[in-house]
Chains A and B, each alone.
Chain A
């Protein structure tokens, strides 16, 4: 049984607009048999934070193209992507890439 995990979940680059315009969220993930990974976090976000139009944030079990996921200020690619096991007090940032100029 994994202990609850407290995270700072942040959204930026416009992704926050899908979360009532709030950029920083303190999140506590409840106890569950499996350890929390990013895959489960995305499901949890979909159920608990994302009220509508999930297609603007998610695609399949991952984020949609154009959203960078950063775990403790590093590209999630370097951390195992969906399989990264979340640690207490991790910072997870979802940033929508900008194209304007």
Chain B
């Protein structure tokens, strides 16, 4: 039997393979196995894709003889990993039990390799039929997916859609890393986590949702952050790594671990209405450090809480990441090595940017690397490995009041001006009714109209009090960072125009007000 070249091939035109094989599974298991072995050889003879050096190493030759032992192992593993699959409520409870166990042990011990397989079951054929008929994937690609393991770093806005499509497509094993728990503000984009999962660890929540989608995939949730001491051991156990994280130190950590372990890295990121996608350390292409040898100054990094992000944007980038993972895992290969795909949602535009090649002087993947083991990435980047908002300390304690102190002087009707310096879009979400709103940006620009409004309000308040007493201006923002910057600006305003003004900021901002003073005040 023979068939044409792959470019012209496919199940429809490759009549020999298709007709010779299709009836066989109807004949029963034994026939299936025999026939499958034959099909494997046929495909190799057809000149189907050969695994490249950069692809996960697999013993194709040993497929058939390992099959029986591997099946038993697979079943035992599946049973162990799929515990708590019987129902939602039970599942959650068992999840929590396992979690405690895991927490004390750190990450679980070495995972057994996924068994090599030479055949799909009838159920699998039905399930994956729509992708099996794609000549680019085919049975061979599906079998490769089933033998592939993918480590998903971050089960948030990118990790959820990525894991969802990988699970649905039938990858063999998904490692799910996340240190966080599900919060209400996650639900807008982290689409695997439902309302009922709030407060649960994301890694567990994602695994439970994915298990409902495709119970044949092995899910290995890791509740905890990826850390330099454990990252390499973890990454080595997987074929492909997807960086779905949300902070700079983790991005360097994941990239370095992938270089040291020799794994391809599919990296996505999103913020506001833009997204970026690249494949690093793949087939001789550059790594993350080749592009970014030095980390950005911490001040210049914006997180999703501050900058905002639309769920459809993380969804698009996460799906594109899943696509590249599937292409690599199935043997099609990624077309994005050495390129960065940039997405601008507002313009509805993609750009595919050609990147520099691997750098011979790269600190980790270069010819004489200086980074030969994982390091302290938080120190390297000068920031924490989370996307939580930072609490700045720009002012001395005397220039700051707590929300409780502010509440007390509000109750005592102490004359003052409350100045809200958040961006207009945030002031539209919620505000304290008596606050004067002037965005920090206008203060930084010394916008005359804004300063006039402030001066007028100070004048009005001063009329109610003894002119000799300096009038306090309390500055508030969302979390108490921008308010400190605003106080510094106010302190520098010319006294001849503004009179004696004492500016102080409210520590923790309106979010502290919401949690400590007025629980009906919205949190965002």
Contact = CB atoms under 8 A, between A and B. Distances in A.
A101 B156 CA distance: 6
Interface string A51-93: 1100110010000111110100111011000000000000000
The residue among B154, B269, B352 with the most chain A CB atoms within 10 A of its own CB is B269
A55 B300 CA distance: 9
Given A14-B302, A95-B342, A100-B304, A65 B274 contact: no
B389 interface: no
Interface string B282-296: 000000000111111
A74 B300 CA distance: 23
B158 interface: yes
A28 B158 CA distance: 40
B11 interface: no
Contact of B274 (A13, A56, A68, A78): A13
A interface residue count range (under 10 / 10 to 19 / 20 to 34 / 35 or more): 20 to 34
A52 B156 CA distance: 34
Interface in B143-194: 154, 156-159
A55 B296 CA distance: 11
Contact of B271 (A52, A74, A99): A99
Contacts of B301: 66, 99
A64 B274 CA distance: 20
A26 interface: no
B158 A101 contact: yes
B24 interface: no
B interface residue count range (under 10 / 10 to 19 / 20 to 34 / 35 or more): 35 or more
B262 to A, nearest CB: 24
A12 interface: yes
B307 interface: yes
Interface in B332-356: 340, 342, 344, 351-356
A97 interface: yes
B344 A101 contact: no
Nearest to B344: A12
Task: Report the 7 A-B pairs with minimum CB-CB distance, sorted nearest first.
Answer: A66-B296, A77-B356, A65-B294, A100-B271, A98-B269, A101-B158, A100-B304
30 contacts: A13-B342, A14-B272, A52-B445, A55-B297, A59-B297, A65-B297, A66-B297, A66-B301, A67-B296, A68-B291, A68-B340, A73-B351, A73-B352, A73-B353, A75-B353, A75-B354, A75-B355, A95-B342, A98-B269, A98-B275, A99-B246, A99-B248, A99-B251, A99-B271, A99-B387, A100-B303, A101-B154, A101-B158, A101-B245, A101-B269
Interface of A: 12-14, 51-52, 55-56, 59, 64-68, 70, 73-75, 77-78, 95-101
Interface of B: 154, 156-159, 244-248, 251, 268-272, 274-276, 291-297, 299-304, 307, 309, 314, 340, 342, 344, 351-356, 387, 444-445
Given A13-B342, A65-B294, A73-B354, 17 more contacts: A12-B344, A13-B274, A52-B445, A55-B297, A64-B300, A66-B292, A66-B301, A75-B291, A96-B296, A98-B271, A98-B275, A98-B276, A99-B271, A99-B387, A100-B246, A101-B304, A101-B314
